[in-house]
Every structure is written in structure tokens, then in C-alpha cells.
Amino acid sequence: MNRFLTQLKAISARNILAWLERGAEHIHNAPYRIAAWLPTAPGKLCAAGAAVWGWICRTETAQECRAVYGWMERKADDIHEVPYRIAAWLPTLPGKLRALGATALAWMEKKDITPRIKVLTPLCLAALVAAFCMQPVEKAQVTYLLTTGAAPEFIRGKVYNDQELPGLSLVAGSEGRDAQLILAEGQWVSVRVNGKTETVKTRRETVANLLRRRNIPVGEEQMVVLDVSGETPAISVQNTYSFTWEQTVPVDYETKYVTDPLMEKGKEEVVQTGAIGGILETYRNTYRDGKAESMELMSAVTTEPVTEIIEQGTRVQEVSREDRIERVVYNADGSGYLVFKSGDTMTFSEKVTCNATAYSIGKWTASGLPTKVGHIAVDTSVFPYHTRFYIYTNDGYLVYGNAVAADCGSAIKGYKIDLWFETFAEACRFGRRDCTVFVLD
């Protein structure tokens, strides 16, 4: 009897192993298919419910069924949570199945129900295989180096966020699980190992599973490099990996301010727009076992910035009497501008030499303006009223400064002018002197 049972167990085990080998791929893919189906379950259930409800409304039991529908509506939140509760319960199923298998074996030994062992043994083994397949996918034993055309990303353990890349899904790890690199089903990917490249059609599987399926070992000092910069992923197992990348270091432009003696003071104009330059640096990083081994600067190309030039106006109508001329700039026609030590400028139409006298009497001028320093008498046929001047004596005695043609006199003819002073003594000290007169614009 014992010999018969031993043979029976051997036959059953061989049959089970053969069945498991034939269905290994389907069993391994079962958790992924369940996970892919679960998000669609609420929509399918709603569609089925709508169809059933439409049928009910056309039957005589509509009133009773509406009561049921009312109950379902009140329980809608609980019903909606069912798929999510199932998804939360699934991870506990392997442990429960293992416990169930252990209980069943203990019960069989106790009852000695050997005639049924041929049936129960395959069932228990199938339950154990299903529990094994539904275990969390094994933790990463190697370092994955993910390149997307930018700086590479190392994946070993968990990542913070899910990512959808060309032909690849990066699923963030949860409690007790590492991040998973899941390949899209039905695509052709290139796998390069030891200088040889082969093209493999993927299933809905992890990168680790594809490597196992193709009998490609990954050593402890090796990395699995996934290049997803193209249309489909390219996988390679390497000891070292070199990656070239670029960065641009900005170089800010300078701003240069220049004066425009012909522009009114307070105004400014950009005559040349600035542009930021940069240094394009090319680096090559070398990685070994998931760690940066070296970084080498390959080249640096500099683009010079463009200086921004802003013109600021300095032209004024008058300057203080303490200000002095620093230089005079002449144009070909005799016009020009005066540059003062303060930086202000005044433009003039001509420069003339006049014989000047002085007076200090009267309160009002012939033009109706009050008498004051700066209001002078002129020959209005030469200099009309309100003509502006800048005056200083040729002998250096006095800088009279800004003046306006405001008065006239019978003795003031041609290029003679009469300067007004506040006191008679000042007028006497001035006497008669030749002056340089700039006729201002």
C-alpha cells in the first residue's frame, strides 16, 4: 500500500509539474491582467447595471425593482468601494491560501484519506503556485539606469512618482515593494549583452522577467541600462556606462549709460538692446555599479553677451550761476553745445562778441518783465525779446551766466548789450567790457 501511494504521489507530482510548466507564463501574467482589469470594473458594472435596469423597467416587476434600486442608490458609496476593497484584499490572499493549504494537509494526515490524495494534492499545489505568483514582484537585485536623453536616473528600490515613458511604465514602490519597470506588451526591444544584440518581443512583464526569460544574468557589479529616448526601449547590461550631457551657464550682459547732449535731461533711450551670453559646457559622466565614477569636461563654447547701451539726456534750459563751462563743442555751421562741470548741456545757434555796459535802475523792463539779474537790454532788431543767452566777460572778470532779452535802450544798438545788476556799485565796477555771448536755442 505504501509503495502504491509513493508511486501515486510521483505520478501526480510529474503531472502537476508538466501542467505548471505549460501554464507558467499564464500564471505569472495573471496578477498583471487582474491589475489591468480592476480599474475597468466599475465602468463595466455600471454598464451592466444600466442594461438590467432598462430590462426591469420594461417588466411588470418594475415597482418592486425600483425599491431595490433605491436601496442600491442609498448604498452607492459602499458599492463603489467594492473594487477598491478587493484590490486592498488581494495582497493578503497569498498568505490566506498558504494557511488554507497547510490546514488541508494537516486535515488529510489526520483523517488518512489517501484515496482522495490524487485530487487534493494537485489542488493544494496549484493554490501554492498561485500564492507564489501573486507575491510582490521580487525586489530589485541590480541597479537600473534610466536614460531619456537628459541626465540619467538611477532606480534601486522605490521612486516617488509613477511615470509613463515610451514603451515603459515606471510604477512607484509601495510598502514592502520596490519600484517596477513594466514593459508594454507586443513591442520589439533590443537587448545588448557582451557586445551582442538581439531583438525580443515583449509581454506584459517587468524588465527583470524579460532578462530571466532570455537567460541573461546580471552580475553584482553590473547595471541594467534602459534607454527610452527612442520610440521603443533599448536594454543593455553593462559594467560601466558613459553619458554625455550639456549645460549652458548664462553670462549676464552689462548696461552702459552714455550721455546725449542734445536730448532733454530726464529722458533716456535704449540704442542697443542687451543680450545674455552663455558658456555651453559638454560633460561626459562615467558610471559604475550605479555610482558616478568620473565627470570630464569635454568642451566649452562661449557666446559673448551684448552690452546694452542707454543714452541719457543732459540738455537743460539754464544752469545755476555757480556752474561753469567745462568745454564747448562746435558744429560746422557755428552752432554747438556747452558742456558744464555739472554734466548739464545747453545748445546754442551762434556765438558772438558784444560790447556790454551795466545799469541798475527801474523796476520794469520794456517787455513787461520785472528788472532782475539776467534780464538785459538789447537791440531788438538784432536780438528779439525773450532771446536767451549765456554770457561771460572776455577778460575773466565775470561770468554773468544765463540772460534773457527783456529791455531796450536808445544807446543800445547793434551788438551792444546792457546788463542789469542789483546795485549801482556793482554796475559801476563792471563799467564797459567785451563779452562772449552764446545765443541759446
| pLDDT for residue 372 | 94
- Cβ pair 211, 168 in contact under 8 A: no
pTM confidence score: 0.50
| pLDDT for residue 320 | 92
Q: Which CATH architecture does the domain made up of 319-440 adopt? A: Beta Barrel (2.40)
| pLDDT for residue 388 | 96
Q: What is the C-alpha separation between 414 and 300, in angstroms, rounded?
A: 73
Alpha carbon 408 to chain centroid, angstroms: 73
Q: What is the C-alpha separation between 285 and 153, in angstroms, rounded?
A: 13
> Could you list the pLDDT tens digit for every one of the 441 residues in the chain?
555 445 545 555 556 656 555 555 555 556 556 655 665 666 666 566 656 656 655 554 555 555 555 555 555 555 555 655 665 666 666 667 767 767 776 766 666 655 555 555 666 566 655 554 554 444 445 678 777 766 666 666 555 567 777 777 777 665 545 667 888 888 888 898 888 888 899 888 888 888 888 888 888 778 888 888 777 788 888 888 887 888 999 999 999 999 999 999 999 999 999 999 999 999 988 888 767 788 899 999 999 999 999 999 999 999 999 999 999 999 999 999 999 999 999 999 999 999 999 999 989 999 999 999 999 999 999 999 999 999 999 999 999 999 999 999 888 999 999 999 999 999 999 999 999 999 999
Which grid cell sits at 318?
539754464
- Cβ pair 439, 350 in contact under 8 A: yes
- Cβ pair 327, 272 in contact under 8 A: no
| pLDDT for residue 94 | 67
- Domain regions of the chain by residue span: 2-133, 143-238, 244-311, 319-440
- Cβ pair 420, 409 in contact under 8 A: no
Strand order in 277-288's β-sheet?
240-251, 277-288, 291-303
At the top level of CATH, the class of 244-311 is: mainly beta
- Cβ pair 225, 236 in contact under 8 A: yes
Could you tell me which residues come within 8 angstroms of residue 417 by beta carbon, excluding any fewer than 6 positions away? 354, 355, 356, 357, 376, 377, 378, 391, 435, 437
